[in-house]
């Protein structure tokens, strides 16, 4: 739901800032993730001037580059997963683990067609009590992330598989940035199928419970990277 941009100077300013229209009403109150505050403080010129990383007033932050994450970008989004849904694992899974798998959906409707993704970092948090009970076991866990089709459709191509030692801390995994565009449709959303299986044949003491999933998405909007912004040689 978008509110039509009011005519006049405010609309012109919104367009200049690359925003089609202002969000309608007040947003749902939720805490700002610490990583976003950290990135904001590092990129804010006033904060940067006061900090030790600022060598001199002329040493500007590199345009269209998120130094802290080491990628090109001028837009960073923290996207919480919506509609995390657990489903039973396939009985024919190689490990035979009866733990559930999850489907998570990320709303990317606000990502403009002109933006190019440079980083897509998935962050998963597991319920603390269950994570402790589940324990890493001898072989730890294996996380697999696949593109998920629409409801009823089977899982799509696997984006990554990686070993996870413990579940007490958030699990971070970098997805191929192109995945955020490839799965786009109207309304645009990224649907992922997540599975956490024991890394060894021994069954885990308990299944992990996914408590929270979010996506840190960095994109470059080339319209906001004009040549004048580049530092002079």
Partner 1 sequence: GAEAALPGGACRARRLYVSFRDVGWHRWVIAPRGFLANYCQGRCALPAPGAPPALNHAVLRALVPGAGPPCCVPARLSPISVLFFDNSDNVVLRHYEDMVVDECGCR
Contacts to partner 1 by CB under 8 A: 1-2, 10, 13, 17-18, 22-28, 30, 32-33, 36-37, 39-40, 43-45, 60-61, 63-64, 74-80, 107, 109-110, 224-226, 228-229
DSSP 4-45: PPPSSHHHHHHHHTT-SSPBPSPPPP-PPPHHHHHHHHHH-H
Q: Choose among 224, 190, 233: nearest CA to 65.
A: 224
- Closer residue to partner 1 in complex, CB, 34/88: 34
According to DSSP, the β-strands at 141-148 and 116-126 are: unpaired
Residue 11 CB, nearest approach to partner 1 (Å): 11
Short-list 229, 208, 207, 209, CA closest to 220: 229
Residue 109 Cβ vs partner 1, minimum distance, rounded to whole Å: 6
* In the complex, least distance from residue 86 CB atom to partner 1, rounded to whole angstroms: 23
Q: Which is nearer to partner 1, 9 or 152 (CB)?
A: 9
**What is the CA angle 220-212-44, rounded to 5?**
35
Closest distance of CB 141 from partner 1, Å: 28
Region label for 50, one of left (φ > 0), alpha (ψ between -120 and 50) or beta (otherwise): alpha
Minimum gap (Å) between residue 63 Cβ and partner 1: 6
Residue placing its CB nearer to partner 1 in the complex, 143 or 180 = 180
Show the tokens assigned to 154: 């089977």
Q: Which is nearer to partner 1, 67 or 174 (CB)?
A: 67
Q: Which is nearer to partner 1, 64 or 97 (CB)?
A: 64
Nearest residue (CB) to partner 1, 16 versus 94: 16
Q: Please give the full DSSP string across 131-181, using - where no structure is assigned.
A: HHHH--TTT-EEEEEEEE-STTSPEEEEEEEEEE--SSSPEEEEEPTTHHH
Report angle CA 177, 115, 120 to the nearest 5 degrees: 25
Minimum CB–partner distance for residue 101 and partner 1 (Å): 25
């Amino acid at each position: 739901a978008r509110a039509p941009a009011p005519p006049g100077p405010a609309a012109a300013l919104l367009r200049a800032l690359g925003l089609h229209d202002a969000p309608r009403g007040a947003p749902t109150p939720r805490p700002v993730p610490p990583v976003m505050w950290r990135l904001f403080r590092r990129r804010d010129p006033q904060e940067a001037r006061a900090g030790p990383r600022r060598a001199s007033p002329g040493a500007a932050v590199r345009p269209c580059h998120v130094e802290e994450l080491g990628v090109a970008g001028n837009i960073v989004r923290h996207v919480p997963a919506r509609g995390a849904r657990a489903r039973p694992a396939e009985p024919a899974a190689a490990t035979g683990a009866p733990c559930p798998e999850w489907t998570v959906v990320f709303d990317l409707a606000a990502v403009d067609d002109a933006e190019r993704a440079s980083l897509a970092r998935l962050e998963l948090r597991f319920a603390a009590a269950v994570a402790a009970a589940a324990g890493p076991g001898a072989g730890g866990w294996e996380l697999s992330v696949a593109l998920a089709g629409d409801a009823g459709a089977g899982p799509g191509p696997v984006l990554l598989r990686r070993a996870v030692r413990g579940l007490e801390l958030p699990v971070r995994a970098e997805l191929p940035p192109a995945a955020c565009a490839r799965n786009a449709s109207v309304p645009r959303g990224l649907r992922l199928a997540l599975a956490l299986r024991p890394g060894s044949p021994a069954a885990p003491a308990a299944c992990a419970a996914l408590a929270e999933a979010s996506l840190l998405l960095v994109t470059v909007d080339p319209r906001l990277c004009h040549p004048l912004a580049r530092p002079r040689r």
